[in-house]
Amino acid sequence: MKAKNKLWDWRLRLEHHLCPDYCGVVDRRRVIAFVLLTLIEILIIPYHFLLFYIMKAWVGMLYNVVHTLALALLMYVVLKRKVVFKTGISLLYILVFVKLAIDSMLCLHYQGDRDNLSVMSNIFIMFILAITAQSQQLNRTAFGFTIALLPVVAVAISHTQISVLFFSIKAVLVGFLMILYVWLYNWEPVMFKELRQPKQMREEEKKALHMLADLKDEEKDMAVNLLSRLRPEQQQNILERAAEQLKTSELSKKAWDLVCADLTNSERVICQMVLEGKMLKEICIELNKSESNITSQRSHIRKKLNMDRKDDLRRELEKRFYEARNSLDA
């Protein structure tokens, strides 16, 4: 238990160091990926040195030295916060991706089709890097990896025997498909448009909830009390969850009121839409206002919230909402 607590404390300290202003879910995923990928590189680099020494592959030895120096420099830059962490994790992914691409080309140059397994393994890891970058919303990095994979895969296929290619090509196709899948589930218009969330329930669903909560049921001959059919422990569980949900909802409402205390109703609506990730054009269409009007109101919001023009409005609102909710929950 002590070891677990120490590990947790160390992770929190690292998060605060790498993301001093704010650490959301995506940021935490990036920190975890940064730590694990760095550990993997620390283990793999000595192994590669030994392998290249045994094989007398001095070109490979040289590129491994260059990669090690580049990794050490990147660690220094990231840990000293010379760049923002999002840029740092992107650079780490790019460094590993380039290393794998060069390693694949060296394998094909020196071993030809005799080392097909190493090349396909490298390509598989490159796909994992692209998918991981996409899942962490590093969209430009993931797009660059996807484009860079095309020539790497093409060269690998050209050096692969036809009989082997028929069995290995499916992994490449699945890799590109998984990148597309992750891109789609991160794309807000696809994932969130016309979702039937609690505020958009149908009348039948509302009626079922009223029945379950044992509220006024005017059609007793057509429906029975669903709650009475449950065991006592199930009833208690439902009531506790409902109470917890109400408490959470009330806390969120109070926190939002604190954040937007000095804002007008229209400015609050704009802030809410910004938090939902809506772009300027979407806000203009929904509110039926011009871009200049919305831009002007956003400038007023920044002034009232004492924000700098360079600050990310959505990120700053998330941070302040999180802090306000924590202060109320304390």
Residue 259 has pLDDT above 50, yes or no: yes
Of 136, 160, 190, which one is at a domain's C-terminal end?
190
Higher-pLDDT residue of 148, 272: 148
Q: For the chain, give the percent of residues with pLDDT over 70.
A: 76
Question: How many domains does the chain contain in total?
Answer: 3
Residues 311 and 220 occupy one common structural domain: no
- Domain boundary (139, 159, 190) is at 190
State pLDDT tens for residues 118-160. Answer: 888 888 899 999 999 988 888 899 999 999 999 988 888 887 7
- Give the model's pLDDT for residue 69: 95
Average pLDDT score over residue span 77-101: 91
Last residue of a domain, one of 229, 249, 281: 229
- Write out the chain in H/E/C secondary structure: CHHHHHHHHHHHHHHHHHCCCCCCHHHHHHHHHHHHHHHHHHHHHHHHHHHHHHHCCHHHHHHHHHHHHHHHHHHHHHHCCCCCHHHHHHHHHHHHHHHHHHHHHHHHHHHHHHHHHHHHHHHHHHHHHHHHHHHCCCHHHHHHHHHHHHHHHHHHHHCCCHHHHHHHHHHHHHHHHHHHHHHHHHCHHHHHCCCCCHHHCCHHHHHHHHHHCCCCCCCCCCCCCCHHHCCHHHHHHHHHHHHHHHHHHHHHHHHHHHHCCCCCHHHHHHHHHHHCCCCHHHHHHHHCCCHHHHHHHHHHHHHHCCCCCCCCHHHHHHHHHHHHHHHHHC
Residue for token pair 């044992």: 214
Q: What is the pLDDT of residue 92?
A: 93
Q: Which residue, 44, 20, 13, 18, is CA-closest to 31?
A: 18
Same domain, 96 and 245: no
Question: How high is the pLDDT of residue 261?
Answer: 79
pLDDT band at 96, cuts 50/70/90?
A: very high
Distance CA 159, CA 111 (A): 10
Confidence of residue 231 (pLDDT cuts 50, 70, 90): low
Looking at the fold, whether 213 and 311 belong to one and the same domain comes out as: no
Query: Could you tell me if 174 and 28 lie in one domain?
Result: yes
pLDDT of residue 213: 56
pLDDT of 164 > 60? The answer is: yes
Residues 137 and 38 in one domain: yes
- Identify whether residues 173 and 276 lie together within a single domain: no
Encode pLDDT of 33-70 as tens digits. 899 999 999 999 998 888 888 878 788 888 889 999 99
Contact 242, 213 (CB under 8 A): yes
pLDDT in tens, 10-25: 878 888 888 877 777 7
Residue 322 vs residue 91, higher pLDDT: 91
Given a cut of 60, whether residue 202 has pLDDT beyond it is no
- Express each pLDDT in 234-246 by its tens digit: 667 666 776 677 6
Q: At what angle do helices 116-135 and 162-186 cross, to 10 degrees?
A: 10
- State the pLDDT confidence band at 211, using cuts at 50, 70 and 90: low
Lowest-confidence region among 36-40, 81-85, 225-229? 225-229
How far is Cα 114 from Cα 51, in angstroms, rounded to an integer?
Answer: 17
| pLDDT at residue 203 is higher than 70 | no
First-to-last C-alpha distance (Å) of the chain:
25
- For residue 270, the domain's CATH number is 1.10.10
Q: Are residues 247 and 204 in the same domain?
A: no
Is residue 267 a contact partner of residue 298, using CB atoms and an 8 Å limit?
Answer: no
Q: Does residue 224 surpass a pLDDT of 50?
A: no
Cα–Cα distance, 180 to 145 (Å, whole number): 13
Mean pLDDT value of segment 179-205: 64
Give the mean pLDDT of the chain.
78
Domain range for 219 is: 199-229
pLDDT for 199 beyond 60: no
* For residues 60-87, average pLDDT: 90
pLDDT at 75: 93
pLDDT score recorded for residue 113: 56
- pLDDT at res. 65: 92
Q: Are residues 143 and 260 in the same domain?
A: no
